Structure 1
Amino acid sequence: MGQHTRRALIRAGAVASAAALYPAPASAAAPASCPPPLGPVSVRPGDPRYADLVRRGNRRFVGTPDEVRVVGSTGQVVEAVRDAVRQGWRLAVRGGGHCFEGFVDDPAVRLVIDLSGLTGVYRDPARSAFAVEAGATLGEVYRRLYLGWGVTLPGGSCPGVGIGGHAAGGGYGRLSRLHGLVADHLYAVEVVVVDQAGTARAVVATREPGDPHRDLWWAHTGGGGGTFGVVTRYWFRSLPRPPARVLTFTVTWPWEGLDEPGFHRLAANFGAWCARHSTPGAPENRLYSELILSRRTLGGHTLVGQVAGGDERLFDAHLAALGAGVGVTPSVTRETLPWLAATLGSESDDGKGWRLKVKSGFQRGPLTGRQIAAAYHHLTRTDYDAPAGSLSLNTYGGAVNAVPPTATASAQRDATMLLFYLAGWTDPAEDDRHLAWIREFYAGMYAEEGGVPPAGAYINYPDVDLAGGSTPWPDVYFGPNAARLRRVKARWDPRNVFHHALSVPSEG
């Protein structure tokens, strides 16, 4: 679950080679002699640890596997996959536990491989890169990279998200307008795969042009998790130094006194600002913000974000542009903090106590008048109430859009905004009502485009509803890269061992 979920639910309740610029301290490289890894630990029903291991994400989904295997090494992952193939068990992999859909907690899954023991972050001199094991959370990755070497990944802002799925889906965050996606810094990936004979083995794939495994590396730069094998480790190069300090801000425009034209102006102003200031290299790429348009019951619409380097003039200009003609006076708080303190934050609600449904859509340019009218209608409907219901408009582009759409599997390289739709509730008896609302909202936003965003959607915000639409869902998430991802799937997972509702289908 990302920054958008956390903040919405809380309201309701210079780049250079890492090897060249950041040599590892003598004590910071992977030690030559390590203690034994955690695991393997087999947890089955009846074990007091079982309940926690099968309920770590969206409360709508609770798993019932025969076993959860907690692993701490690549070799243990290979053995776990071999056991699943030998038993004919459906398997799934859990890193941070933040999946919005029930891919891991599917009743058909018999073995869950939990990567809680794979949390290492270190400089790997042999590959001139930083190694990050797939069970590490973003918070720990940021902490260790920064304190050890003064660098970071431009990833998401929820510290509890696992790097394993985040990087494989592209990985977008508050520094991405300055430094691109997490996947744009991926040099190599270690993956446990299964061949046609049913043999499990670990493969390292790099971005080197002559690497015969390069297609497997490419698939993990935006093809999503749970499709090609079990990622056990990533290697990253060209990691940026984060700013020493950031200006963080929260702005709220109250619903009280805000009429429909004012709502239209606020949403239109945000989209227009993004369209003007999302080209690679623009000074405004130092600013990241998200405008959370909420239902009336939540009191107002909130802008949150940060300015790298703490330039208050950039924030003031952003605020003035968004508030022009809105007709209500917002409340504003701002604070300048060291980067790591602002990144790790103090917010603890990451959405795990909620029943959730989310959707996403990339946007090229501002929202249309029809889209804003649809948003206003669904956020002010009197026949529906929800503890949390919102549409977040998020700044995008910048350095993300400097990369060609086929260079990585992350194809959306011309968007200026990323839209995030959220419904959150707690009562299982109300599932149908809340699901209906967000589905109607989404359909209304794209009524003239066949019900799907023409600029595509973000695979790290998976939405199984797209699998039942008239547009093939791989085209929505992967655009021109869908066919190539199918070929990679056919090569590296010919038996379809690794699959879920939105895993890449095989060629043909």
Structure 2
Amino acid sequence: MFRTSAGAVQRRLSCPGRTGMTISRRGLLVGAAAATGAMTAGVGAAPALADEQTNPAVPAARIVAPGDARYPDVVVGNNQRFVAAPEAVFLAGSTQQVLDAVQKAVWAGKRISVRSGGHCYADFVYHSATKVIIDMSAMNAIGYDQTRNAFVIQPGALLGQVYETLKKGWNVTLPGGVCPTVGIGGHVAGGGYGLLSRRYGVVADHLEAVEMVVVDKLGVARVVVASRNSADVNRDLWWAAAGGGGGNFGIVTKYWFRSVGASGTTPGQQLPQPPAEVLVSSLPVGWPTLTQAAFTTLVRNFGTWYERNADPSSPYTALSGAAFITHRSAGGFGLVTQIDAAVPDAARMLDEYLAAITQGTGIVAPYPPRRLRWLAATRLIGTSNPATMLDPTMRSTVKSAYMRKGFTDSQIAALWRGLTRTDYANPNATVQLTGVAGGRVNSLSESATAYPHRNASFLTLFENFWMDPSQDAAHVGWLRDIYHQTFADTGGYPVPNLQTDGCYINSPDMDIRDPAINRTGVPWSTLYYKGNYAGLQRAKARWDPLNTFRHSQSVELP
């Protein structure tokens, strides 16, 4: 039955009435056990994972269907703009359960999406066409694997949990983002950056291997492991998983992390050690006292400093800062900076940085930096802006721009106009200048992993958050306007060139594929992946030839 062309098999998967190849809606919901028997008898899929079959700590599969009281809570993520209506949400507890759920969905011809933490600015998970959501929230274990001398983390683990567990258990960390409720599954899939990235690279730079459920050309689901080992025949899948975006090739069920060059068997030597303490500066800026000239100088200073310190050899790789510039209606905004307190002359370096950023603006720090334990500082920074990061009632949209050089004066003028508009007011409308690029991130070539932004100096995020659905057009419109005015000279987007370096896939832009809005003539795939897209397409053809795993901006088959 399976010795036919891939096209014939694909037609059978989607057509009712084919013996042994279709599963009714009721069959999709009855559980995972039946699929295992069908797979073993018919196609010789990967054997069940013995540890998951016998381990009582692994929860039983849970399936939530319409009518279940839990259903409204599992068909929407952190962004309230996108709500799905799937036939089932599969709350996975193990790799075997993910394997079974994928196989049953494929046999039934049901479109799949996958969730780790639920933070997404686009409709990648909660799409109207999605019929089965595989929710990885319960797969959140964090531990050390002695067989690989690497830390193993399941994709449902949230960043706050990852930092706490790694720090308290082994005094190590990953250079990930500041929001504690982001799931590591989607975070590392796009690269993953944070305030330690200038010193240690992006999270994907520490990815040693992945375990992934994939589907072959015959529609057979199986479990594969791919590592960065140059002799690994599956290395192309590891490469694609290290920054190629989520939902493209399969479902990652385990990540293993170990830094390149790590040696020995001691867990505390396999990943970076976080600072024991950091100096944290929080500098408020009041809109009423900020002139356009001072604003222009501030933004120009920020870009100039990070451009000058983008090289991995910069003595300032232990320092990272961000400017959260909210719309004028917020009354003011803040500049947050962190540096490892153990770096020689750390206090002087921080003072010099702040002086360089604020030179010529009249902005003065009202109080000195705080000296905090690193974990406490991570919690503080991660929870200091709950309206935009942690509020589960918000609707949101985002656009991004990697910058190799600072903004020009005409671009800064466009930022000023958008942020001071009097016909629009939203205190959560934000332009975030973020020092999470450059430094160690730029020590690798653009093709070393799928994450391509190895020549940038800093990242700019254009974000908007609101609650009322009836105001969607106004808030989306503001973001489009300020962004496209800023990059008007290149067709409304930051095309890869000497000044800009494209966009970040983990901040997906719902407009990027619309030629009426993206007028650059540069494909969306180039903006996200630059020259790495061809390699991602080759990986797609090998590992997901039926395009089982897809969304509105997924890697396309060549």
Which of 255, 262, 286 is matched with 1:254 structurally? Answer: 286
Structure 2 matches for 1:411-422, cutoff 5 A?
A: 411-422=452-463
Q: What aligned pairs does 1:37-116 form with structure 2 within 5 A after superposition?
A: 37-116=58-137
Residue-by-residue CA offset, 1:142-184 (whole Å, 9 max, x unaligned): 1111111111111111111101010110010110000001000
* Post-superposition offset of 1:301: 3.0
Indicate whether 1:476 and 2:530 are aligned: no
- The 1:249–1:328 alpha-carbon spacing in structure 2 relative to 1, beyond 3 Å, is closer
Between the aligned partners of 2:131 and 2:141, the Cα distance in structure 1 is 27
Aligned CA RMSD, in angstroms, stands at: 1.7
Partners of 1:272 and 1:109 lie apart in 2 by: 45
- Return the match for 2:492 from 425, 440, 451: 451
Equivalent residues of 2:63, 2:90 under 8 A apart: yes
Task: Give the Cα–Cα distance (whole angstroms) in 2 for the partners of residues 324 and 257 of structure 1.
Answer: 16
1:286-325 alignment, distance < 5 Å: 286-309=318-341, 311-325=346-360
1:374 maps to which residue?
414
Q: Following the alignment from structure 2 to structure 1, what is the Cα–Cα distance between the partners of residues 340 and 121?
A: 29
1:297 positional shift = 0.8
Deviation track 1:263-313 (CA, whole Å, cap 9, x = no partner) reads 100100111111122210322111111112221111123101311226222
SS in 2 for 1:284: coil
Quick check: 2:330–2:426 contact (8 Å CA) kept in 1? Answer: no
Moved more, 276-285 or 491-500: 276-285
1:123-272 matches, within 5 Å, as 123-238=144-259, 239-272=271-304
Distance 2:132 2:224 in 1: 22
Taking the aligned partners of 1:419 and 1:332, their CA distance within structure 2 comes to 27
- Number of the residue aligned with 2:19: none
Runs (4+) of structure 1 moved beyond 6 Å? Answer: 30-33
Q: Within the alignment, does 1:335 sit opposite 2:370 as a pair?
A: yes
Inter-partner Cα distance in structure 1 for 2:394 and 2:121:
11
Letter matched to residue 372 of structure 2: L
Query: Distance in 2 between the 1:31 and 1:324 partners?
Result: 59
Q: Work out the CA distance in 2 between the residues paired with 1:123 and 1:221.
A: 20
CA contact (8 A) 1:251 1:333 kept: no
Pick the aligned partner of 2:450 from 409, 412, 418: 409
Q: Structure 2: 5+ residue runs without aligned partners?
A: 1-50, 260-270, 496-500
Report the secondary structure of 1:285's partner residue.
coil
Whole-angstrom distance in 2 between the partners of 1:84 and 1:312 = 57
Q: Percent identity?
A: 46
Displacement, 1:356? 0.5
Question: In 2, are the aligned partners of 1:285 and 1:398 still within 8 Å (CA)?
Answer: yes
Question: What does residue 423 of structure 1 align with?
Answer: 464
Counterpart amino acid of residue 423 in structure 2: D
Cα distance, 1:326 vs structure 2: 0.8
More relative contact order, 1 or 2 (CA 8 Å, 6+ apart) = 1
Output the amino acid matched with 2:541: A
| 8 Å Cα contact 2:207/2:255 also seen in 1 | yes
Whether the aligned pair in 1 keeps the contact of 2:327 and 2:420 (CA below 8 Å) is yes
Whether 2:551 is the aligned partner of 1:500: answer: yes
The answer to whether the 8 Å contact 2:399/2:461 transfers is yes
Q: What pairs up with 1:388-403 in 2 under 5 angstroms?
A: 388-395=428-435, 396-403=437-444
Q: Could you list the per-position Cα deviations for residues 39-89 of structure 1 after superposition, in whole angstroms to 9, with x for gaps in the alignment? A: 310111221221211122101111211111111110000001011101111
Q: Deviations over 1:478-504 (max 9, x none)?
A: 001011111111111111110001111
Aligned counterparts of 2:120 and 2:99: Cα–Cα separation in 1: 23
SS in 1 for 2:296: helix
Distance in 2 (CA, whole Å) between partners of 1:36 and 1:323 is 54
CA contact (8 A) 2:189 2:246 kept: yes
1:363 to 385, 395, 403: 403
Aligned partners of 1:31, 1:169: CA distance in 2, in Å?
A: 28
C-alpha displacement of 1:34: 4.0
1:394-440: CA deviation from partner (whole Å, max 9, x where unpaired): 11200000011001001110100100001111111110111111111
Gaps of 5+ in 1: 1-29
Flag the 1:151–1:33 CA change in 2: closer, same or farther, 3 A. farther
Q: TM-score when scaled to structure 1?
A: 0.91
The SS at the match of 2:249 is coil
- 1:26 is aligned to none
Q: Which amino acid aligns with 1:103?
A: F
How far apart, in 1, do the equivalents of 2:538 and 2:453 lie?
Answer: 20
Whether 1:386 aligns to 2:426 is yes
Distance between the aligned counterparts of 2:448 and 2:287, measured in 1?
44
Q: CA deviation at 1:330?
A: 4.7
Is the CA contact 1:252–1:332 (under 8 Å) kept in the aligned structure 2? no
Cα displacement (A) at 1:334: 2.8
Give the letter aligned to residue 495 of structure 1. Answer: L
TM-aligned CA deviation for residue 35 of structure 1: 2.7
Give 1:333 deviation, angstroms. 5.7
TM-score by length of 2: 0.83
Q: Structure 1: how far apart are the matches of 2:180 and 2:368?
A: 23
What's the offset of the Cα at 1:444? 0.8
C-alpha distance in 2 between matches for 1:72 and 1:31: 9
